[in-house]
């Protein structure tokens, strides 16, 4: 009878299963299942920092530049990002948790008619046409009411992002095909969503699996009951083990003890939302120290820096780097969880990664 994996096995498995051999952009997004987006550039957006390790010869901005020609959508899963178009059928037509009032329904109908007649539109064109004014946003500030309405229409499946211009979403009208809304159909979609997040973020501590399924309420709020039932079934069907009081789960058709998970010698600076480090609970269990994303933390209280990129060397996350680019040159600043590694191998690996980062940031 095979023995349970150790924490060392899970650590190598967590790294190897998502840092696959670089491939094409469409293939990488299909294999990842979902790529989280973030607007901050420090030195590049999170989606670009994630894809550069998994797409051959990837440059910052390639996803935005090629998006309109790919079978990829900007949409919501456990958060906002990019996913293969076929996954939309698992969530759409999406029923928002909070219904619109009559006035918002009227405005949305007017905007939808305008977009259908005009074609792809910039939010500025909608504001010029309707003058919706300003509104209080989620963070307590003021934002453009037309932009907020377009975002909400996108979430509810009335619009899609056709492309971006300078980072701004350009919307077009869309009609999602009807979904199988029978009890069996809902159960099938919920099970597929749970499988999608498990295959993206495994191996998962039990608490993290529960948390991710709860976050599916963002992408599929109307399937919350079904995703909870799918979670209960997944706990029975997934492979699992218990280490130091924590139960871990992973797909039943994968083997964390496989020799294929032997780490390479590359050093990688990862996005704060990279699948390797996204789950902070798992991060602490696997690497023994707590990493924090501090872009929204007051500067005086930051421990790691504004946009610290976790530093993965072999199968260990040994520290972090802030890598601003000034006048076309990288200005890296490093921190280490347990001291800087010594020796020529580490210095060569770090130099190679900074060279790759500079090439990634250079315009095509």
Contacts for 333 with CB less than 8 Å, ≥ 6 apart: 305, 321, 322, 323
Measured CA to CA, the distance from residue 122 to residue 143 in angstroms comes to 16
Q: Would the CA dihedral through 266, 269, 273, 278 be positive or negative?
A: positive
| DSSP per residue, 285-346 | HHHSS-----TTS-GGG-SS-TTPEEEEETTEEEEEEE--EETTEE--EEEESS-PPPSHHH
* CATH 1.10.10 domain span(s) along the chain: 102-173
Q: E-strand spans in the chain?
A: 35-36, 72-76, 80-84, 134-136, 142-144, 159-165, 168-173, 204-205, 239-243, 246-250, 267-269, 309-313, 316-322, 325-326, 329-330, 333-336
Q: What is the mean pLDDT of residues 10-33?
A: 97
pLDDT of residue 139: 42
Q: What is the pTM of this model?
A: 0.93
Q: How does pLDDT run across 153-181, given as a tens digit for each residue?
A: 999 999 999 999 988 999 999 999 999 99
Regarding predicted confidence, which is higher, 4 or 173? 173
Regarding predicted confidence, which is higher, 1 or 149? 149
pLDDT at 238 > cutoff 90 = yes
Bridge-based pairing of strands 204-205 and 159-165 is unpaired
Contacts for 244 with CB less than 8 Å, ≥ 6 apart: 7
pLDDT of residue 225: 97
Q: Is 360 left (phi over 0), alpha (psi -120 to 50) or beta?
A: alpha
What is the CATH number assigned to the segment(s) 102-173?
1.10.10
Regarding predicted confidence, which is higher, 209 or 262? 209
């Amino acid at each position: 009878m095979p023995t349970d994996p150790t924490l060392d096995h899970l650590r190598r498995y967590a790294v190897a299963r998502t840092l696959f051999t670089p491939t094409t952009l469409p293939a990488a997004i299909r294999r990842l299942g979902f790529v989280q987006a973030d607007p901050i550039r420090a030195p590049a957006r999170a989606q670009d920092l994630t894809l550069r390790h998994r797409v051959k010869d990837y440059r910052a901005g390639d996803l935005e530049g090629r998006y309109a020609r790919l079978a990829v959508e900007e949409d919501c899963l456990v958060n906002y990002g990019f996913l293969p178009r076929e996954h939309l059928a698992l969530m759409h037509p999406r029923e928002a948790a909070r219904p619109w009032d009559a006035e918002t329904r009227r405005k949305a109908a007017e905007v939808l008619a305008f977009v259908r007649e005009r074609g792809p539109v910039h939010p500025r064109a909608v504001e010029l046409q309707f003058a919706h004014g300003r509104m209080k946003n989620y963070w307590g500030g003021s934002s453009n009411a037309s932009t907020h309405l377009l975002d909400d229409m996108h979430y509810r499946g009335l619009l899609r992002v056709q492309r971006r211009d300078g980072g701004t979403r350009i919307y077009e009208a869309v009609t999602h095909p009807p979904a199988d809304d029978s009890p069996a159909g809902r159960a099938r979609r919920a099970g597929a969503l749970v499988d999608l997040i498990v295959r993206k973020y495994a191996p998962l501590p039990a608490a993290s699996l529960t948390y991710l399924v709860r976050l599916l309420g963002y992408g599929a709020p109307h399937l919350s009951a079904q995703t909870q039932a799918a979670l209960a079934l997944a706990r029975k069907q997934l492979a699992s083990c218990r280490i130091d009081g924590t139960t871990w789960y992973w797909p039943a058709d994968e083997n964390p003890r496989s020799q294929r998970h032997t780490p390479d010698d590359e050093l990688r600076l990862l996005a704060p939302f990279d699948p390797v480090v996204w789950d902070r609970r798992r991060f602490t269990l696997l690497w023994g120290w707590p990493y924090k994303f501090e872009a929204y933390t007051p500067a005086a209280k930051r421990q790691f820096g504004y946009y610290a990129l976790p530093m993965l060397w072999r199968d260990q996350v040994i520290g972090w780097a802030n890598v601003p680019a000034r006048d076309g040159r990288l200005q890296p600043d490093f921190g280490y969880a347990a001291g800087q590694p010594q020796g020529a191998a580490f210095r060569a690996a770090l130099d190679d990664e900074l060279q790759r980062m500079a090439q990634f940031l250079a315009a095509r």
